[in-house]
Structure 1
Amino acid sequence: MALPPAVELRRRNRAALLQQLHRHGPQTRAALTEALGLNRSTIGALATELAESGHIEETTGQSTGSAGRPSTLVACVPQSITVAAVEIRADRLRFALVGLGGEVLERSETALDEGADPMTAVSVITGGTAAASAEAVAAVPGLVDEGTVAHSTELGWIDRDAAADLEAATGREWQVVDTATAAAVGEWTRGDARDSRKLLYLHGGRGLTAGLVIEGRAQRGGSIQLGHIVVEPGGRECACGLRGCLEAEMEAFGFGEDFETTTLAAGMGDAAARDRLRRFGEDLGWALGAVVTATGPDEILFGGWLRELYLSTAAPVRSALAETTLPHLRSKLRLRTPVLGDEGALIGAAETGFAALFDQMR
């Protein structure tokens, strides 16, 4: 049954005010009035209602040094809404309990034995906090669609219903996103990529993945298997059964571990190491050409060990990309490294959960 228009509008305004505070931090009522385009009385009524429900509190801000009392700030109460976020990798599991406003309330990490199934570890590391949280989100390296991991080089999963397995292990529903998409969401919400309308994040782990977000939101179909774009037809045999995949040509499964050795040797004049890096940079650029043509991003971030590869091979990456994309697509394209580093995926998983919550509130 549809809600009365006045009630519906109040719900939307309430969600908008909470989302504004969650993303941008404590603000005065005057700032909220300007940011949301609502009148002062509406902001006052919403603030009172949310304070009574325990979601926000009003505190005295710092004085600016001018005459008069310090401004009163409206701020989130972190414990009022929490999201449980986990990042699953082949060798470790990371967990964060994040409160409204983005404050990390709990954090832990545990190592995983080689080949171990992480689902039991998720239940242990999250304890009762996952069940008590408003949302739970897992970031997993690979191609993900609606909770199913279609393919993950790093984890060795094919068509695994990770959402169902997580629910069975913890007793609650989970959203599942790929690591690259989660990191892209994190960079857009808590990093410095907010000016990007279409943000493409590349992640280098034991496989190569990419995630596309539009205005900070994960999209169905935005999980991309970067590592299985063929860059050398008839080339090296890949574990997926194809030949000449980017992962196979770059020897990605082991390259992340010995990257530092390779770059050090290249820096000391080792011609073979320099040639290896140049070739990998070109392969990455050619694969990116296909992705850029298909998705049209305005910014690309290189994460995981691809960050260091890009910093070492920016010229061949850009050159190969220029050879495989239309001028109007690359003219607006920015290439750089992320600011959140390894924290991006975990932060983005939590922010994916909060985005779902705000949608439900409307």
Structure 2
Amino acid sequence: MSAVQDLLAPTTEAELAAIIADRRRPLRIIGGGTRVQLPPGDDMMIDRLTTTRLSGVVTYSPGEMTLIARPGTPLPEIEAMLAAEGQALAFEPPDLRGVLGGHGAPTLGGMVAANASGPRRLMAGACRDHLLGVRFVDGRGRVIKNGGRVMKNVTGLDLSKLLAGSYGTLAVLTEIVLKTLPHLPARATLVFADMNRAQAVRLFSTALATPFDVTGAAWRDGTAYLRIEGLEKQLIYRRDRLLALLAAHAPQVLDDAATTALWRGLRDVTNFAGSDAPLWRILAKPTDAPAICTALHALGGATSLDWGGGLIWYAGPGSAAQVRALAPHATLIRRAGLTGPAFPPQTGPLARLQSGLRQTFDPAGLLNPGLMDA
């Protein structure tokens, strides 16, 4: 047997289950390859299995705001289909092809496996909050269904929340049921120039404590941004109230078109595209974000903020040990030569929980070994 086998590309759930049930050699599960970079030389040790041929929409019911599709379905196709019906994925999944230099298409399964959620997570919640149900094949080759096709049928243990963000380490998704929501018809952005990170976080805290439904709060290159969306009359009211509340900061206002372009760039972290520096995605308590950024800057890189300060992007030098000593919840998105697990190692009760889950769903350690643990 050669060190690298042909790419495995099952076309049905039954074929996928048979492949996994008969495996003795680990598998690297990949979709469009647009969420996180794998360790260098990874394909020399682990066979690859792609979900791209497990593709297609099973059913879409705009009236019930429910979508059922297979994991290899390209995300742009899903978004275009929803837009034609005046609907959207409210959690605004990011497209990281720019920062990763990838050419594959983001897939629905990759989005769920990464729990990919953009700036609107502040208001709409994360990807996992919009999952109604899943079908999947676990590491034993068992086909399992969990959840329902409408919200009222989702009862019992919700395994879809467990699989969202597991990056294919517990199971391979074969069918995904998602809640869709109406597309918000109008948007505007309040722009606050000459603001440092600490000032921006205080501004975000003030704005997010209001009832004015802020759907984005981000900081980049000395400027803070607040986004509001909704029906036109609602939008005007919220904008004017926020302008009055925050008048001391002399905000400017961007119109709908400029807002759409700006937040697409913030969502996709385009300010760090085209760089050869490692890129880290860091979760933090918003009030801790300024101090963490200051410490990271001492390593020689740059940062930006999203989610009101709850999400830090850091691009720059520093080993995994150095970065995680300053920011424990740091995930390595773009490696740029760094090796080791992309995700921070778990310790104590979390490590035991993670080990127990792997033992239940994938006792032989076949699925994406080494990605989320050492």
Pairwise same-fold verdict (TM > 0.5): no
Task: Return the structure number with greater helix share.
Answer: 1
Q: Normalized against structure 1, the TM-score is what? A: 0.25
TM-score for both structures, normalised by structure 2: 0.25
Higher relative contact order (CA 8 A, sep 6+): 2
